[in-house]
């Protein structure tokens, strides 16, 4: 354990040690920090910070936050908030349902750092476990929807529907500018669609099937099952609208598709929805993985990530992220979407739910849900003397009951609340009852008592009331993976086998620049599985969730104190969603002033990669601003472009510190310049780990900022999500934050439509950030930032003689990350940044961010959580790799450019143990290049993956089991 240099055992303050967590979070103690400071030429932290952070941005005051709390004290405080949450039995429905997460999945995936601390699988060779899990998820989605391709998850059902609208415009051959939305869609879905459509310049028509058939639309969205629970065959209406070249998307309940005819069978081009029902708690709205399936011909236009099957250098089956040239940081404003963070951890949970239950188990659950709903409807129908009426004959899980009078509806609704059941009120006289996986005989007894004043028992026989015309006849989940792991020990071993294929933070540091892979402490993670935070519906009555709102308000206050902003919106459920919400507030602000034509967005070359795509989605024109030789914004170029576009200047999107890893001294001047031309400053918070307690973005001139809670504030990456991207706003932008059509957000105007499906985004993971801030406290947050800056500068200093540091700021210092330039080494030796990235796997490390933001470079961010020992091991690895590259140059021991341990990396165990070894380097040199590696060896399970093969032979479903033999 890392401890303070001089422990205080002479006072009760010292013995209680409320600051103990700070020293568990920080990787180095004062003694190690002193050694690192000395190595880069400093005697103390204060002088180092003075030389690193420009004086004009320094805060020079303490944050208005309490001091650090111990882990048990913070948990106790959060427990008190949780005690003010009432977890009623939820029969609300509306896209969210209670579930049972299998305990073996909860313990071994959700609560396992081997899964939740992994990074997005850009380095496929050390990501095969989660790639296989994601492929399982894609296979589930393909099977249930019947379409040919599936993505590896989107953020939520509402944003997936908005992405379907945008995709429809890209691929449709219709000249129309209008999108049709079925009046049966969930209100929150329509809310998000209308937000997106406005700034793309598209019209939205909401109507019935006849309206759909008679209009001219580039795309159409239908709901299957409808918001009232009705099941309708869409075959005929889809065929009719397709005659007008309309591209058709169907939002489908994933559990209903186990029984119902698939969207593909009805003619859909796209199917989408939430996989929350596959074992993922409601969590007051998220996080949940949305699914998105589509036809083969649309694969290059689809949003989000796709996992594909390829081969490695040894000819073995290997998985990878396919078609990466579609990624938003590569295509910038031409990207299909700005989506960066997906919901990988949640997709893995949903996929594993299907693996665990298998086709028989899934069908049993779906049939049980429907049969209980049918039995309930039968009770209502059999009360012939009652004024109650079941509205829809065909339903899956939701029974809509017309109570005949407002008085009776109110009485039933209130009585249900009194006995701990939440129903859904539909108009004055109607109540819907949405059954779920957790519904049982006791619930049936209570619900029938509530409606007909007599408790009924479940009948002996389970009846399926759906018409045979609605039922699917094809088999699902036939792949062996869904038919092999149904005992506890088989499932446990399968999960462990996948975990062992991945390199995550529980094995070694992941030094990814711009990604802030830091400690996600166990105490921060514990509350997310507490029933009070996990099992609440996002549309539960507000008097039941006072503790939840208290926690969210408290986190907002913490973030206001840290950033200096006047208001916070917690709705964006990813960093990219936060970018969108920030620009949305700016556009709404300009519109309120009658300046609708302020649509120019200035974006420096040093900005974060998703920024241009986000600006495009907001209907803005991107104008790129040059950077100078030091990586700073070129003030002359910025000034010229401000003057050129003054009348139409809407915003500047700037990342601070920049993606080049430097603090720009001119940030105040930059903000003032934008404001002088009537624009607003959006600051990207990707690099906030260099800011906290040292500067405040609002104080230096930013008008709005998104905060990646999955970076600076410790929500784990989970292999590529979940994330949260709340935005901070100055007072003039605060009136334009997004509200919610069903559950209005406090202090948000009703006419400000939503950016996410739930009012507070992925609320159930917010306790992680609350715990982090509470346990670090005012002074601990400052120490974290100081150590993050120190660690980055220590690495830059130790590597500079072997690898040039591309950009530096004040006094030759970097911020929280540094970019090392591999191009000179490649020119000299033929060894590329990719070769170094793959060779690092042999040393037991994940590579830094490769070729972003500058091609031919590696961007390193160590964070404050890594120890000096770990930093030194990483430095030693890169130095050893440089020495290996020089051997290639000299041809020492016969090492050629075509055959050396770098171009052949990574080396698998099967490669090392093969009978035939014809390389000029030894097996030991390949597998154990440094003494440390021998004792802590991590073996990649596949050799270097062939990206080109995977794209030319794109396959995103599970290959036959023989491919893994």
Contact 555, 773 (CB under 8 A): yes
- The span from the CA of 486 to the CA of 357, in Å, is 7
- The structure tokens 């995977």 sit at 950
What DSSP element (H or E) covers 199? helix 187-200
User: Cβ–Cβ contacts within 10 Å for residue 450, how many?
Assistant: 20
Within 13 Å of residue 414, how many CA atoms lie on the same side as its CB? Answer: 6
Among 11-25, 258-272, 649-663, 691-705, the minimum mean pLDDT is found in 11-25
Nearest to 874 by CA among 513, 514, 511: 511
- The span from the CA of 89 to the CA of 489, in Å, is 32
- The span from the CA of 170 to the CA of 648, in Å, is 27
| Average pLDDT value for residue range 1-30 | 81
Question: Cα dihedral sign for 489, 491, 494, 499?
Answer: negative
pLDDT of residue 956: 73
pLDDT of residue 3: 47
Q: Look at 959 and 41; give whichever has higher pLDDT.
A: 41
| Average pLDDT value for residue range 168-194 | 97
| Average pLDDT value for residue range 82-109 | 98
Rg of the chain (C-alpha set): 28
Q: Is the pLDDT of residue 940 over 80?
A: yes
Q: Tell me the pTM.
A: 0.96
Packing angle, helices 766-799 and 868-890, rounded to 10: 50
774's tokens = 């509470």
Omega cis (within 30) before 27: no
Nearest to 36 by CA among 755, 788, 656, 690: 788
Q: Look at 809 and 103; give whichever has higher pLDDT.
A: 103
707 SS3 class: strand
pLDDT of residue 12: 83
pLDDT of residue 959: 78
Among 7-21, 743-757, 792-806, the minimum mean pLDDT is found in 7-21
Please classify residue 550 by burial: count the beta carbons closer than 10 Å to its beta carbon, then call 0-12 exposed, 13-18 middle and 19+ buried: middle
Percent of the chain with pLDDT over 90: 89
Q: Is the pLDDT of residue 246 over 60?
A: yes
pLDDT of residue 2: 47
Within 13 Å of residue 188, how many CA atoms lie on the same side as its CB? Answer: 28
- The structure tokens 């430097």 sit at 662
Strand order in the sheet with 857-860: 818-821, 857-860, 849-850
- The span from the CA of 316 to the CA of 557, in Å, is 52
- Measure Cα distances from 563 to 367, 375, 701, 869, 940 in Å: 50, 54, 11, 32, 41
634's tokens = 């070129």
pLDDT tens by residue, 801-822: 999 999 998 899 999 999 999 9
- The span from the CA of 390 to the CA of 377, in Å, is 7
pLDDT tens by residue, 550-603: 999 999 999 999 999 999 999 999 999 999 999 999 999 999 999 999 999 999
User: Cβ–Cβ contacts within 10 Å for residue 29, how many?
Assistant: 16
- Measure Cα distances from 840 to 125, 857, 870 in Å: 11, 15, 14
Omega cis (within 30) before 712: no
Q: How confident is the model at residue 417 (pLDDT cuts 50, 70, 90)?
A: very high
Q: Where are the beta strands (DSSP E) in 874-940?
A: none
Contact 21, 522 (CB under 8 A): no
Q: How confident is the model at residue 963 (pLDDT cuts 50, 70, 90)?
A: low
pLDDT of residue 333: 58
Average pLDDT of the residues of the chain: 94
154 SS3 class: strand
pLDDT of residue 608: 72
Strands 704-707 and 430-434, by their bridges, are unpaired
Phi and psi at residue 877, to the nearest 5°: -65, -45
Read off the DSSP letter of residue 260: B
- The span from the CA of 803 to the CA of 352, in Å, is 43
Q: How confident is the model at residue 954 (pLDDT cuts 50, 70, 90)?
A: confident
Nearest to 345 by CA among 761, 100, 710, 614: 710
What DSSP element (H or E) covers 592? helix 575-592
Contact 682, 654 (CB under 8 A): yes
| Average pLDDT value for residue range 193-215 | 97
pLDDT of residue 6: 67
36's tokens = 């690192």
Strands 290-294 and 306-311, by their bridges, are unpaired
pLDDT of residue 11: 87
Read off the DSSP letter of residue 229: S
| Average pLDDT value for residue range 402-419 | 97
- The span from the CA of 88 to the CA of 742, in Å, is 19
Q: How confident is the model at residue 89 (pLDDT cuts 50, 70, 90)?
A: very high
- The structure tokens 């509402």 sit at 158
Phi and psi at residue 406, to the nearest 5°: -65, -35
Q: Is the pLDDT of residue 548 over 90?
A: yes
Q: Is the pLDDT of residue 332 over 70?
A: no
- The span from the CA of 495 to the CA of 873, in Å, is 29
The β-bridge partners of 317 are 311
In Å, how far from its chain's centre is CA 844? Answer: 26
């Amino acid at each position: 354990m890392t401890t303070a240099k001089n422990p205080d055992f002479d006072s009760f303050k010292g013995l209680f040690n409320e600051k103990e967590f700070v020293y568990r979070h920080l990787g180095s103690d004062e003694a190690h920090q002193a050694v690192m400071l000395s190595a880069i030429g400093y005697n103390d932290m204060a002088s180092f910070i003075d030389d690193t952070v420009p004086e004009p941005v320094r805060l020079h005051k303490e944050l208005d936050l309490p001091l650090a709390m111990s882990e048990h004290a913070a948990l106790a405080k959060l427990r008190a908030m949780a005690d003010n949450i009432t977890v009623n039995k939820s029969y609300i429905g509306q896209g969210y349902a209670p579930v049972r997460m299998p305990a073996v999945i909860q313990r071994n995936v959700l609560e396992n750092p081997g899964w939740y601390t992994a990074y997005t699988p850009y380095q496929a060779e050390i990501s095969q476990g989660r790639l296989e899990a994601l492929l399982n998820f894609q296979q589930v989605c393909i099977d249930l929807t019947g379409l040919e391709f599936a993505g590896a998850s989107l953020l939520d059902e509402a944003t997936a529907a908005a992405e379907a609208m945008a995709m429809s415009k890209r691929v449709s051959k219709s000249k129309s500018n209008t999108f049709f939305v079925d009046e049966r869609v969930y209100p929150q879905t329509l809310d998000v669609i209308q937000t997106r459509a406005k700034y793309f310049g598209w019209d939205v028509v909401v109507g019935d099937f006849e309206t759909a058939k008679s209009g001219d639309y580039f795309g159409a969205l239908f709901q299957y099952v409808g918001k009232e629970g009705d099941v309708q065959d869409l075959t005929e209406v889809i065929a009719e609208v397709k005659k007008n070249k309309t591209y058709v998307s169907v939002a489908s309940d994933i559990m209903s598709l186990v029984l119902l005819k698939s969207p593909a069978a009805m003619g859909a081009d796209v199917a989408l929805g939430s996989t929350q029902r596959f074992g993922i708690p409601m969590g007051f709205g998220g996080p949940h993985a949305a699914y998105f399936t589509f036809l083969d011909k649309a694969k290059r236009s689809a949003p989000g990530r796709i996992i594909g099957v390829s081969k490695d250098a040894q000819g073995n089956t290997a998985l990878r992220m396919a078609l990466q040239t579609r990624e938003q940081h590569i295509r910038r404003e031409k990207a299909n979407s700005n989506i960066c963070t997906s919901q990988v951890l949640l997709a893995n949970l949903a996929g594993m739910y299907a693996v665990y239950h298998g086709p028989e188990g899934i069908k049993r659950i779906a049939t049980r849900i429907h049969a209980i709903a049918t039995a309930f409807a039968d009770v209502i129908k059999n009360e012939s003397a009652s004024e109650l009426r079941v509205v829809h004959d065909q339903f899956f899980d939701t029974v809509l009951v017309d109570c005949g009078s407002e008085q009776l509806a109110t009485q039933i609704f209130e009585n249900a609340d009194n006995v701990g059941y939440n129903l859904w009120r539909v108009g004055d006289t109607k109540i819907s009852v949405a059954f779920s996986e957790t519904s049982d005989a006791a619930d049936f007894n209570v619900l029938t008592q509530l409606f007909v004043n007599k408790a009924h028992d479940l009948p002996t026989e389970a009846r399926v009331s759906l018409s045979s015309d609605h039922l699917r006849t094809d088999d699902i989940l036939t792949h062996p993976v869904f038919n092999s792991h149904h005992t506890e020990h088989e499932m446990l071993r399968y999960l462990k086998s996948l975990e062992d294929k991945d390199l995550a933070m529980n094995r070694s540091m992941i030094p990814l620049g711009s990604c802030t892979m830091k400690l996600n402490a166990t105490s921060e993670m514990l509350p997310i599985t507490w029933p009070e935070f996990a099992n609440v519906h996002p549309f539960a009555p507000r008097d039941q969730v006072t503790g939840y709102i208290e926690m969210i308000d408290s986190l907002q206050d913490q973030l206001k104190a840290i950033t200096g902003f006047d208001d916070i919106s917690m709705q964006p459920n990813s960093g990219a969603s936060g970018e969108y919400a920030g620009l949305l507030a700016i556009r709404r602000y300009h519109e309120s002033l009658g300046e609708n034509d302020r649509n120019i967005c200035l974006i420096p070359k040093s900005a974060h990669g998703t920024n241009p795509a986000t600006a495009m989605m907001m209907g803005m024109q991107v104008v790129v601003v040059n950077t100078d030789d030091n990586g700073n914004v070129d003030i002359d170029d910025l000034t010229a472009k401000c003057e050129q576009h003054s009348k139409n200047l809407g915003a500047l999107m700037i990342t601070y510190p920049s993606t080049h890893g430097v603090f720009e001294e001119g940030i105040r001047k930059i903000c003032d310049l934008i404001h002088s031309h009537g624009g607003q400053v959006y600051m990207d918070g990707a690099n906030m780990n260099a800011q906290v307690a040292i500067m405040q973005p609002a104080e230096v001139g930013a008008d709005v900022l998104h905060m990646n809670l999955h970076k600076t504030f410790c929500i784990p990456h989970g292999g590529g999500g979940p994330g949260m991207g709340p935005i901070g706003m100055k007072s003039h932008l605060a009136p334009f934050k997004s509200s919610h059509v069903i559950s209005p957000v406090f202090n948000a105007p009703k006419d400000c439509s939503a950016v996410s499906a739930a009012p507070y985004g992925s609320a159930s993971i917010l306790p992680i950030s609350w715990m982090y801030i509470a346990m670090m406290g005012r002074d601990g947050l400052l120490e974290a930032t100081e150590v993050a800056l120190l660690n980055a500068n220590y690495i830059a200093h130790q590597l500079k003689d072997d690898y040039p540091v591309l950009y530096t700021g004040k006094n030759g210092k970097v911020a929280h990350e540094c970019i090392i330039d591999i191009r000179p080494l490649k020119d000299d030796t033929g060894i590329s940044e990719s070769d170094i990235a793959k060779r690092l796997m042999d040393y037991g490390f994940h590579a830094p961010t490769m070729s972003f933001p500058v091609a031919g470079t590696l961007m390193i961010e160590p964070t404050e959580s890594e120890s000096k020992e770990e930093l030194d091991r990483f430095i030693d690895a890169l130095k050893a790799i440089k020495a290996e590259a020089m051997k290639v140059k000299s041809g020492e021991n016969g090492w050629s450019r075509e055959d050396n341990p770098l171009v052949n990396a990574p080396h698998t165990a099967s490669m090392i143990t093969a009978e035939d070894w014809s390389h000029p380097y030894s097996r030991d040199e390949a597998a154990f290049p440094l003494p440390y590696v021998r004792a802590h060896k991590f073996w990649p399970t596949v050799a270097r993956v062939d990206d080109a093969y995977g794209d030319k032979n794109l396959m995103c479903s599970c290959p036959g089991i023989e491919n893994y033999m």
